[in-house]
Protein backbone atom coordinates (compact mmCIF):
# COMPACT_ATOMS: atom_id res chain seq x y z
CA UNK A 1 0.00 0.00 0.00
CA UNK A 2 1.11 3.56 -0.55
CA UNK A 3 0.97 6.32 2.04
CA UNK A 4 2.51 9.49 3.35
CA UNK A 5 4.56 9.93 6.51
CA UNK A 6 2.71 12.33 8.78
CA UNK A 7 5.34 12.52 11.48
CA UNK A 8 8.50 10.84 12.67
CA UNK A 9 10.29 11.25 16.00
CA UNK A 10 14.02 10.66 16.14
CA UNK A 11 13.82 10.38 19.93
CA UNK A 12 11.31 7.51 19.97
CA UNK A 13 12.36 6.15 16.56
CA UNK A 14 8.72 5.80 15.58
CA UNK A 15 6.19 7.60 13.45
CA UNK A 16 2.79 7.64 11.77
CA UNK A 17 1.92 6.95 8.16
CA UNK A 18 -1.37 7.96 6.58
CA UNK A 19 -2.29 5.19 4.17
CA UNK A 20 -4.11 5.84 0.91
CA UNK A 21 -7.01 3.92 2.44
CA UNK A 22 -7.48 6.77 4.95
CA UNK A 23 -6.20 4.78 7.94
CA UNK A 24 -3.21 5.85 10.02
CA UNK A 25 -0.55 3.27 10.77
CA UNK A 26 2.21 3.40 13.38
CA UNK A 27 5.70 2.33 12.42
CA UNK A 28 9.08 1.74 14.01
CA UNK A 29 12.46 2.60 12.51
CA UNK A 30 13.19 -1.15 12.48
CA UNK A 31 10.71 -1.48 9.59
CA UNK A 32 12.33 1.32 7.54
CA UNK A 33 14.10 -0.27 4.55
CA UNK A 34 15.53 2.81 2.77
CA UNK A 35 18.92 4.45 3.26
CA UNK A 36 17.80 7.93 4.26
CA UNK A 37 16.00 8.69 7.50
CA UNK A 38 12.20 8.96 7.34
CA UNK A 39 10.87 12.52 7.03
CA UNK A 40 7.42 14.06 7.21
CA UNK A 41 5.60 14.28 3.87
CA UNK A 42 7.59 11.51 2.19
CA UNK A 43 5.60 9.11 0.05
CA UNK A 44 6.21 5.49 1.05
CA UNK A 45 5.21 1.98 0.05
CA UNK A 46 4.51 -0.45 2.90
CA UNK A 47 2.59 -3.53 4.00
CA UNK A 48 0.23 -3.81 6.93
CA UNK A 49 0.32 -6.09 9.95
CA UNK A 50 -2.74 -5.27 12.07
CA UNK A 51 -2.35 -1.52 12.75
CA UNK A 52 1.40 -1.45 12.13
CA UNK A 53 3.19 -0.50 8.92
CA UNK A 54 5.96 -2.96 8.08
CA UNK A 55 8.49 -3.26 5.26
CA UNK A 56 8.48 0.48 4.55
CA UNK A 57 10.23 1.72 1.41
CA UNK A 58 10.65 5.30 0.24
CA UNK A 59 9.12 6.01 -3.16
CA UNK A 60 12.14 7.49 -4.97
CA UNK A 61 10.32 8.48 -8.13
CA UNK A 62 7.98 10.87 -6.36
CA UNK A 63 9.07 14.44 -5.79
CA UNK A 64 7.05 16.05 -3.04
CA UNK A 65 7.33 19.63 -4.24
CA UNK A 66 8.14 19.32 -7.94
CA UNK A 67 10.86 21.96 -7.71
CA UNK A 68 13.70 21.83 -10.21
CA UNK A 69 17.26 22.03 -8.93
CA UNK A 70 18.35 23.50 -12.28
CA UNK A 71 15.79 26.31 -12.10
CA UNK A 72 16.68 27.02 -8.45
CA UNK A 73 20.40 26.98 -9.29
CA UNK A 74 20.08 29.32 -12.27
CA UNK A 75 17.87 31.71 -10.30
CA UNK A 76 20.46 31.75 -7.52
CA UNK A 77 23.37 32.33 -9.90
CA UNK A 78 21.77 35.07 -12.02
CA UNK A 79 19.19 36.69 -9.69
CA UNK A 80 20.37 35.42 -6.32
CA UNK A 81 21.05 38.84 -4.85
CA UNK A 82 17.34 39.56 -5.07
CA UNK A 83 16.51 36.31 -3.24
CA UNK A 84 14.44 34.97 -6.14
CA UNK A 85 15.72 31.41 -5.59
CA UNK A 86 14.63 31.60 -1.94
CA UNK A 87 11.09 32.56 -2.95
CA UNK A 88 11.07 29.78 -5.57
CA UNK A 89 11.96 27.20 -2.90
CA UNK A 90 9.31 28.51 -0.50
CA UNK A 91 11.70 30.24 1.91
CA UNK A 92 9.88 33.57 1.97
CA UNK A 93 11.51 34.92 5.15
CA UNK A 94 15.00 34.13 3.82
CA UNK A 95 14.08 35.68 0.48
CA UNK A 96 12.98 38.91 2.13
CA UNK A 97 16.17 39.05 4.23
CA UNK A 98 18.29 38.50 1.11
CA UNK A 99 16.42 41.18 -0.83
CA UNK A 100 16.69 43.74 1.98
CA UNK A 101 20.42 43.08 2.45
CA UNK A 102 20.98 43.39 -1.28
CA UNK A 103 19.09 46.69 -1.60
CA UNK A 104 20.40 48.35 1.55
CA UNK A 105 23.89 47.12 0.73
CA UNK A 106 23.98 49.61 -2.11
CA UNK A 107 23.88 52.39 0.47
CA UNK A 108 26.78 50.87 2.42
CA UNK A 109 29.41 50.91 -0.35
CA UNK A 110 28.06 47.70 -1.93
CA UNK A 111 29.87 45.45 0.57
CA UNK A 112 26.71 43.66 1.87
CA UNK A 113 25.48 43.47 -1.73
CA UNK A 114 28.64 41.69 -2.85
CA UNK A 115 28.54 39.34 0.13
CA UNK A 116 24.89 38.32 -0.42
CA UNK A 117 25.55 37.96 -4.16
CA UNK A 118 28.50 35.65 -3.46
CA UNK A 119 26.43 33.56 -1.03
CA UNK A 120 23.66 33.23 -3.62
CA UNK A 121 26.17 32.22 -6.30
CA UNK A 122 27.60 29.49 -4.04
CA UNK A 123 24.08 28.28 -3.23
CA UNK A 124 23.30 28.09 -6.94
CA UNK A 125 26.34 25.90 -7.57
CA UNK A 126 25.41 23.68 -4.60
CA UNK A 127 21.86 23.24 -5.93
CA UNK A 128 23.08 22.17 -9.34
CA UNK A 129 25.74 19.69 -8.18
CA UNK A 130 23.50 17.88 -5.68
CA UNK A 131 21.68 14.75 -6.77
CA UNK A 132 17.97 15.11 -7.46
CA UNK A 133 17.12 13.07 -4.34
CA UNK A 134 19.39 15.11 -2.06
CA UNK A 135 18.10 18.40 -3.48
CA UNK A 136 14.49 17.31 -3.04
CA UNK A 137 15.08 16.04 0.50
CA UNK A 138 17.08 19.02 1.76
CA UNK A 139 15.61 22.05 0.02
CA UNK A 140 12.08 21.03 -0.95
CA UNK A 141 10.92 18.63 1.78
CA UNK A 142 12.95 19.97 4.74
CA UNK A 143 12.89 23.61 3.60
CA UNK A 144 16.60 24.14 4.25
CA UNK A 145 16.91 27.82 3.40
CA UNK A 146 20.63 28.53 3.77
CA UNK A 147 23.50 26.50 2.32
135: exposed, middle or buried (Cβ count in 10 Å: 0-12, 13-18, 19+): buried
User: Residue 64 falls within a domain, yes or no?
Assistant: no
Residues 43 and 83 in one domain: no
Share of the chain above pLDDT 70, in %: 96
Tally of domains in the chain = 2
User: Which structural domain, as residue segments, surrounds residue 92?
Assistant: 69-141
The Cα 67–Cα 142 span in angstroms is 13
Q: pLDDT digit string (tens) for 100-128?
A: 999 999 888 888 899 999 999 999 999 99
User: Residue 117 falls within a domain, yes or no?
Assistant: yes
Amino acid sequence: MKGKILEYSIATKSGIISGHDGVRYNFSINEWKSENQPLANQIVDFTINEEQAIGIFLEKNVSSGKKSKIVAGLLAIFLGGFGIHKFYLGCTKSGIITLILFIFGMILLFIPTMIIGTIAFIEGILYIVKSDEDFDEQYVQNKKCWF
